[in-house]
């Protein structure tokens, strides 16, 4: 799979905020239909890395390449325009708004004449429900329902369905399963697989090794802003990965520390 | 959310889910109570009704954009100073300096827009809460209005005699006592309903209050939108000040602190959430009407006038509790529906 040309690639990216180096010499690539799991403890620089890909921050040094060509992501809009979609932990959804309105946030379908444009609620609801159902969430049938009434997993799924519908080629999932129960997390992982099957390049950020191993093809472990390990599926055991994430210390050692 | 009439089937659920329902029921309750106690005191006469509707029009055209800001997660209390600032601007420009009335009106609206721009810029560029920012501009603008009035005309109040046509358009009375401001307000309600509930921008306002970070990530120009909302709010306030000045032929530079409370009460009683993300224009209209009945209509009833503040206080508390309940109802109702 690594022979395919990557959809998105980071080459030697550094990021510093003033004197503080947050990311150091990050190189990563993800191909279509591949899930890259980005693992790392809190504060390892995962969020900063996502924000660079989402166009919120710009790298201090280094390049971002898409389909082998260098690109600049100066604003979130730039990233979106190129098909890089980010779904955050809480789904990037608005609890007190309807499913249809959530789905089309920022790209509202309208109808009407000339300058008087009216939000096309019927169309929005219909497409939203169709898309969410096609991702396997069949319990959502009414686009007028408020998102606040959905479960955490359903909200994540809605956000992912939204990204897929709007032609995302790169899907960045920022800890989508962190706040979810076992069942709901399984739901979200199923949808990650669905996105992968549809040929998206998925970057899946998590600190739950189990979830990463369930869907990942390729893993990168981030420690204090650098890539500490980069390996393919099956190359390392769950224990090894956990140890890596803990900063090289073995879990057994950590456990021993906690007990004393 | 108000649904377009073409594609809605009216059901109990959809009415209950409409967040304006609570505000409407509150208004109906207060109105009926006052109508009973005021039946023999002309509460229902044209004079009685126009008294509180006229009051509502001024509060209402400020309250709706204040409500937009609240939905977007912000607060604007500088309105109390924008009102006299715009009143003095139009009165000094077109009254004292005798420039055409349109010049005065445009100058007053520009003053409003400028104050809103300053509010918006400070709120979006710094992390200072908008309550503090607009509290600061409230006092700054109030002080500036007083000292500039002394500087230009050597007094803190002045008169303005607008030409006939302007008087008719901005400060006349029709249908037995309703001021022009009532009709302007109705027109603005129409535009505001379109803006918040039907146009794509309305979605963005809700998104701002719902989750600003996500809104930004969704590509919504959050800063510009917020600045625009602050400008809309202070420009609408300035317009209310212009209408008042032309109506009463006079302007004073005294800050109108009461207006701050009135607008915020109207918005909260109207069902908008203080924490942002939820609210309707129609709800705010009903909130404004309720407030006006209690404050102004009380003179036309047998209820002791002095009780109006007490009633407003109790009403405000009940409204906040009800907003919370309605919000839960709105999300729960839709959750239970899926089990069918």
Model's pTM, two decimal places? Answer: 0.84
A37: left (phi over 0), alpha (psi -120 to 50) or beta: beta
Whether pLDDT at A188 is above 90 = no
Confidence band, pLDDT 50/70/90 cuts, at residue A4 = low
Q: Residues 145..204 of B with a Cβ closer than 8 Å to A: which?
A: 194, 198-200, 202-204
Cβ contact (<8 Å) for B198 and A119? yes
Report, in this order, helix, strand and coil percent for chain B, each rounded to 5: 75, 5, 20
Burial environment of residue B317 by CB neighbours within 10 A (0 to 12, 13 to 18, 19 or more): exposed
* Domains defined along chain B, listed by start: 20-325 (1.10.3470)
Cβ count within 10 A of residue B194: 16
- The contacts of residue B183 (CB under 8 Å, 6+ apart) are B174
B3, B198, B338 member nearest A141 (Cβ) = B338
A18-35 as b/e, with b when 16 or more CB fall inside 10 Å? eeeebbbebebbbbbbbb
pLDDT of residue A40: 81
Instruction: Kindly report, residue by residue over B170-181, the tens digit of the pLDDT.
Output: 988 887 789 999
Looking at the domain assignment, is residue A160 inside a domain? no
Per DSSP, the residues of B126-164 read S---HHHHHHHHHHHHHHHHHHHHHHHHSSSEEE----H
Is the CB of residue A178 less than 8 Å from the CB of residue A190?
no
Q: Is residue A99 part of a domain?
A: no
- In terms of pLDDT, which residue wins out, B21 or B188? B188
Question: Which tokens is B41 given?
Answer: 């005191």
Q: Is A146 on the interface with B (CB under 8 A)?
A: yes
- Averaged pLDDT of chain A: 84
Q: In this structure, is residue A70 part of a structural domain?
A: yes
**B217 at the A interface (CB within 8 A)?**
yes
pLDDT tier at B17 (50, 70, 90 boundaries)?
A: low
Of residues A195, A215, A204, A216, the one with CA closest to residue A131: A195
Measured between beta carbons, the chain A residues lying within 8 angstroms of B199 are: 110, 117-119
CB atoms closer than 10 angstroms to residue A2: 10
ipTM of model: 0.79
Structure tokens belonging to residue A123:
């169309």
Indicate whether A34 belongs to any domain. Answer: yes
CATH number at residue A68: 3.40.50.300
Range of the domain at A244: 8-94+168-259
Q: Is the confidence at residue B3, as pLDDT, over 50?
A: no
Mean pLDDT, residues B242-255 taken together: 92
Beta bridge partners, A16, equal: A21
Please answer whether residues A224 and A246 qualify as being in contact, where contact means their C-beta atoms are separated by less than 8 angstroms: no
Hey, which residues does A229 pair with through a beta bridge? Answer: A221
Q: What is the pLDDT of residues A196-252, one digit of tens each?
A: 888 899 999 887 888 888 888 988 888 888 887 888 887 877 777 777 776 666 666
Alpha-carbon dihedral of residues B53, B57, B62, B65, nearest 10 degrees? 90
Whether the pLDDT of residue B216 is over 90: the answer is no
Q: How many domains does chain A have?
A: 1
């Amino acid at each position: 799979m690594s022979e395919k040309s990557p959809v998105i690639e980071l080459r030697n990216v550094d990021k510093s905020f003033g004197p503080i180096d947050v990311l150091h010499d990050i190189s990563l690539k993800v191909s279509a239909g591949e899930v890259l799991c980005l693992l790392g403890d809190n504060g390892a620089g995962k969020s900063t890395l996502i924000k660079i890909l989402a166009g919120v921050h710009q790298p201090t040094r280094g390049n971002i390449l898409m389909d082998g060509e260098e690109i600049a992501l100066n604003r979130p809009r730039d990233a979106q325009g190129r098909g890089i979609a980010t779904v955050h932990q809480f789904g990037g959804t608005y609890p007190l708004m309807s499913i249809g309105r959530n789905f089309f946030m920022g790209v509202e379908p309208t109808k009407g004449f000339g300058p008087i444009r009216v939000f096309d609620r019927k169309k929005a609801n219909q497409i939203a429900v169709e898309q969410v159902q096609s991702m396997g969430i069949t319990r959502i049938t009414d686009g007028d329902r408020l998102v606040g009434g959905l479960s955490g997993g359903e909200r994540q799924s809605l956000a992912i369905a939204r990204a897929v519908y709007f032609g995302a080629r790169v899907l960045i999932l920022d800890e989508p399963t962190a706040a979810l129960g076992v069942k709901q997390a399984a739901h979200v992982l199923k949808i990650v697989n669905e996105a992968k099957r549809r040929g998206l390049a998925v970057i899946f950020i998590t600190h739950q090794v189990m979830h990463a191993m369930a869907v990942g093809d390729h893993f990168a472990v981030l420690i204090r802003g650098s890539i500490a390990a980069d390996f393919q599926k099956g190359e390392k055991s769950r224990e090894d990965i956990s140890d890596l994430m803990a900063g090289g210390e073995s879990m057994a050692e950590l456990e021993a520390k906690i007990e004393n | 959310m108000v649904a377009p009439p073409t594609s809605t089937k009216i059901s109990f659920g959809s009415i209950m889910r409409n967040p304006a329902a609570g505000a409407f029921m509150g208004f109906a309750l207060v109105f009926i109570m006052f109508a009973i106690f005021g039946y023999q005191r002309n509460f229902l006469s044209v004079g009685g009704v126009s008294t509180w509707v006229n009051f509502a029009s001024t509060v209402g055209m400020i309250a709706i954009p204040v409500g937009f800001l609240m939905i977007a997660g912000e607060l604007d209390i500088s309105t109390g100073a924008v009102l006299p600032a715009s009143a003095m601007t139009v009165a000094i420009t077109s009254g004292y300096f005798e420039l055409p009335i349109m010049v005065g009106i445009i100058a007053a609206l520009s003053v409003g827009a400028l104050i809103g721009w300053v509010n918006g810029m400070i709120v979006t560029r710094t992390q200072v809460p908008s309550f503090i920012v607009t509290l600061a501009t409230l006092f700054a603008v109030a002080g500036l209005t007083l000292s500039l009035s002394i500087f230009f005309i050597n007094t803190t109040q002045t008169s303005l005699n607008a030409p006939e046509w302007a008087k008719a358009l901005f400060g006349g009375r029709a249908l037995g006592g309703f001021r022009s401001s009532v009709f302007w307000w109705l027109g603005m309600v129409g535009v505001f309903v379109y803006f918040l509930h039907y146009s794509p921008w309305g979605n963005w306002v809700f998104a701002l209050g719902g989750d600003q970070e996500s809104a930004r990530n969704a590509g919504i120009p959050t800063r510009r939108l917020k600045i625009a909302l602050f400008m809309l709010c202070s420009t609408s306030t300035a317009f209310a000040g212009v209408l008042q000045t032309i109506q009463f032929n006079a302007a004073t530079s005294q800050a109108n602190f009461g207006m701050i409370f009135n607008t915020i009460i109207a918005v909260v009683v109207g069902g908008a959430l203080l924490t942002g993300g939820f609210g309707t224009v129609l709800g705010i209209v009903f909130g404004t009407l309720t407030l006006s009945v209690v404050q102004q209509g009380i003179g036309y009833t047998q209820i002791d006038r002095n009780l109006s503040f007490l009633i407003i206080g109790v009403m405000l508390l009940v409204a906040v509790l009800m907003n919370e309940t309605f919000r839960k109802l709105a999300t729960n109702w839709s959750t239970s529906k899926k089990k069918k």
